Structures are given as structure tokens and as C-alpha cells.
Amino acid sequence: MSEIRNLINITDFTVEEIDELIRVADDIVANHSAYENICAHKKLATLFFEPSTRTRLSFEAAMLELGGSVLGFSEAGSSSAAKGESVSDTIRTVGCYVDIIAMRHPKEGAPVVAAQRTTVPIINAGDGGHFHPTQTLTDLLTIKRKKGRLTNMTIGLCGDLKFGRTVHSLIEAMIRYEGIRFVLISPQELQVPDYVKDEMDNAGVEWKEVEKLEDAMGDLDILYMTRVQRERFFNEEDYVRLKDSYILDLEKLKAAKEDLTIMHPLPRVNEIAVEVDDDPRACYFFQALCGKHIRMALILYLLGIRREA
Ligand code: NCD
């Protein structure tokens, strides 16, 4: 039997494997009918111990579009977690029913524990403030489709860089490509954790921190906005003080490049004015669509299924 692969952290996949996922995601769009029944009789469980719209529904849509089935829960309260069951026991049980599991959990490291308890592939759909590798695959596909490359660009990451797990995973992924520069735009209290800074230094990428979005705007090829992660704050007062630190609007975009790509993992709260949605540089809903395509490719890859040539 071949070794079971999981996706816990984006670095579990090599750059070549990510290239292959991107190739399959594009092939899915180009040859959609060839994939319609490719996962017939396969089941995906989506176990969401934390809220989600895009990640859970795009996983479910992905599996349904591949001809497979989905089951699961969308909140811990409707699972036996509410009775005190451990994550280990839940996973061990669900692993008896399905072929692949996507899980989201508020505790950092929960998917690592899960992967030790089952022989079906585990996909980390977000663990606390830690990682979110499938959002990163989504982001990489979006960047590739919009820019035609994953190299040689300046990426501005703006907002809650401390608790924003999408940011941590995206940095980990992008430091592996040539010519990437990061501008980290956040209030001092919400700067990226030191371990992420160490990883950028070890990879030898250029990065700097600024507090004002205006100080970075003109240099950016990608602007990745994030919301302030209310649920990870220890007190509401700090959240209220910091929540509107950045609001991207058309006025601020006047200083931006014409081919800037504006991204956001969503949900948006207040950090991008709705007027920006109609600007051709706004790509966040396109990004949500890319999320379905790359998750289709990921499910196939982890199940070891390829379309016949
Ligand atoms: C992100 C998440 O859950 O980390 N959302 C998503 O999966 N698209 C970002 C967020 O919640 O702010």
C-alpha cells in the first residue's frame, strides 16, 4: 500500500507538487466533463469545529462536482464534541466511514493529532491561529492565474498578521519562490509572529514592516488584506481599538499600480470598502472560485486519482 499523504502544513507539499495541483485545477476548468464522475462512490467528511462559509462549502462543492458524496458537521455543537468526545475519538470513528477528511479546529495542532488516529488522508482546513494550507493553495492558484507566475513580485500583507493563519501559510509557501519581497503592514500589536520572521530570514527573502498602508501601496504587485481576528483576541477592548486599523477604499487605491491584484481570504468585515468590489483589480471573489478548483485537484491528489489521458 502506498503511504497516506495528509495536508497539515503547506510545506508538506513540494513546489513541484503544488505546480501539479495548479495544472490539474486548470485542467478541471478546461475539461470539466472528464471529472464529473471521477470520485463516484468516494466520500469526503467535512468536520468543522469552527465556523466557515467558503472553506467548508468549497470543499463540499468540490467533492460533489467530482461525483463523490459529502457528510459531516458545521459546528462542534452538533457533534459528539458537545458531549465531551475527544478529537482523536471523533476522527478515528469518522475514518471508518469516509475516504478523506477535511477538518477545521480552533486548537493549533489538532490536525496533527487527527492524522495519527486514522488511515484516511487528513486535510487541515484551518487550525486556530496557526495554518490554513488549503487557503494558501487557493491563493497560489489565484496569483498564478492573475499574474502568470509565482516569482518576482512584491506582496503586501495587511491587517491582522499575528492571528491570521492565512498569512502565515502564504508566507511559508511564497518564501520558496525566486524574487519574492514582502511588505508586512500591521499595527505593532498585530505583527507576524517571530517564528514566521525567522523563516523569512532563513530563506533569505527581503521583508519589511510598515504601519501605514499608504507607505507601501505604490510598490505592491499583490495586496493581501485580512480581517482582524476577533475570536482570537483575549479582550474585546483591544479588538474594538484595532478592528478598523485599515480600510482599503478607492482613494487609497489611487496610489496603486494599475495591475495590482487585491486579494482577501474572506470573510471581509470592514477592511475593504464595498466600492472597491467593482474595481478591476479586486480579485477576492475570483479567489473564492479558485478555492473550489484547487480543492478539487487536492482531493484527487490525496485519493491518488488521475483522469485518463
Ligand atoms: C480565513 C480563515 O478561516 O482563516 N477564511 C477562510 O478560510 N477563507 C480568514 C478569516 O477567517 O479571516
Give pLDDT tens digits for 28-44: 999 999 999 999 999 99
Q: Determine if ligand 1 sits within 6 Å of the CB of residue 55.
A: yes
Q: Determine if ligand 1 sits within 6 Å of the CB of residue 104.
A: no
Cα 289 to ligand 1 centroid, rounded to whole Å: 15
Angstrom CA distances, 217 to 45, 249, 252, 284, stand at 41, 12, 8, 18
**Within this chain, do residues 175 and 141 fall inside the same structural domain, yes or no?**
yes
pLDDT at 186 over 50: yes
- Type of residue numbered 191: Q
In the chain, the number of structural domains is: 2
Cα 51 to ligand 1 centroid, rounded to whole Å: 9
**Within this chain, do residues 200 and 273 fall inside the same structural domain, yes or no?**
yes
pLDDT at 214 over 60: yes
**Within this chain, do residues 184 and 272 fall inside the same structural domain, yes or no?**
yes
Residue 309 within any structural domain of the chain: no
Average pLDDT for the chain? 96
Residue 4 within any structural domain of the chain: no
Residue 3 within any structural domain of the chain: no
Give the domain extent around 117.
10-131+291-303
Q: Determine if ligand 1 sits within 6 Å of the CB of residue 126.
A: yes
1 versus 47: the higher-pLDDT residue is 47
Question: Which three cell numbers mark 250?
Answer: 478607492
Give per-residue pLDDT as tens, 250-286.
Answer: 999 999 999 999 999 999 999 999 999 999 999 999 9
- Type of residue numbered 48: F
Cα(181)–Cα(179) distance, rounded to whole angstroms? 7
Cα(140)–Cα(21) distance, rounded to whole angstroms? 10
**Within this chain, do residues 255 and 297 fall inside the same structural domain, yes or no?**
no
Cα(140)–Cα(147) distance, rounded to whole angstroms? 10
Q: Determine if ligand 1 sits within 6 Å of the CB of residue 166.
A: yes
Atom number in ligand 1 closest to CA 160? 12
User: Which residue's C-alpha comes closest to atom 12 of ligand 1?
Assistant: 227
pLDDT at 265: 98
**Within this chain, do residues 196 and 274 fall inside the same structural domain, yes or no?**
yes
**Within this chain, do residues 146 and 118 fall inside the same structural domain, yes or no?**
no
Q: How confident is the model at residue 1 (pLDDT cuts 50, 70, 90)?
A: very low
pLDDT at 308: 82
pLDDT at 285: 98
pLDDT at 109 over 90: yes
The CATH number covering residue 126 comes to 3.40.50.1370
b/e burial code for range 184-222 (CB count within 10 A of at least 16 → b) = bbbbeebbbeeebeebbeeeebebeeeeebeebbeebbb
Angstrom CA distances, 285 to 141, 239, 281, stand at 13, 26, 11
Q: Determine if ligand 1 sits within 6 Å of the CB of residue 111.
A: no
Interior angle at CA 25, CA 21 and CA 30, nearest 5? 140
**Within this chain, do residues 109 and 191 fall inside the same structural domain, yes or no?**
no
Cα 265 to ligand 1 centroid, rounded to whole Å: 6
User: Which residue's C-alpha comes closest to atom 11 of ligand 1?
Assistant: 267
Atom number in ligand 1 closest to CA 104? 3
Residue 32 dihedral angles phi and psi, to the nearest 5°: -55, -40
Residue 29 within any structural domain of the chain: yes
**Within this chain, do residues 35 and 100 fall inside the same structural domain, yes or no?**
yes
Cα(64)–Cα(67) distance, rounded to whole angstroms? 5
Q: Determine if ligand 1 sits within 6 Å of the CB of residue 186.
A: no
Residue 65 within any structural domain of the chain: yes
Nearest to 161, CA basis, from 225, 212, 111: 225
**Within this chain, do residues 212 and 150 fall inside the same structural domain, yes or no?**
yes
Angstrom CA distances, 141 to 79, 80, 110, 228, 295, stand at 33, 36, 26, 24, 11
User: Which residue's C-alpha comes closest to atom 7 of ligand 1?
Assistant: 55
pLDDT at 57 over 70: yes
Cα 54 to ligand 1 centroid, rounded to whole Å: 8
pLDDT at 103: 98
**Within this chain, do residues 148 and 216 fall inside the same structural domain, yes or no?**
yes
Cα 79 to ligand 1 centroid, rounded to whole Å: 22
pLDDT at 78: 83
**Within this chain, do residues 152 and 260 fall inside the same structural domain, yes or no?**
yes
pLDDT at 2: 65
Atom number in ligand 1 closest to CA 132? 4
SS3 label, residue 21: helix
Q: Determine if ligand 1 sits within 6 Å of the CB of residue 138.
A: no
DSSP 244: T
Give per-residue pLDDT as tens, 84-100.
Answer: 899 999 999 999 999 99
* % pLDDT > 70, the chain: 99
Angstrom CA distances, 3 to 15, 44, 198, 224, stand at 19, 19, 31, 35
Cα(66)–Cα(73) distance, rounded to whole angstroms? 20
pLDDT at 31: 97
Q: Ligand 1, residues 54, 266, 289: which to mutate, most atoms within 8 A of Cβ?
A: 266
**Within this chain, do residues 141 and 282 fall inside the same structural domain, yes or no?**
yes
Nearest to 267, CA basis, from 250, 293, 287: 287
Residue 227 within any structural domain of the chain: yes
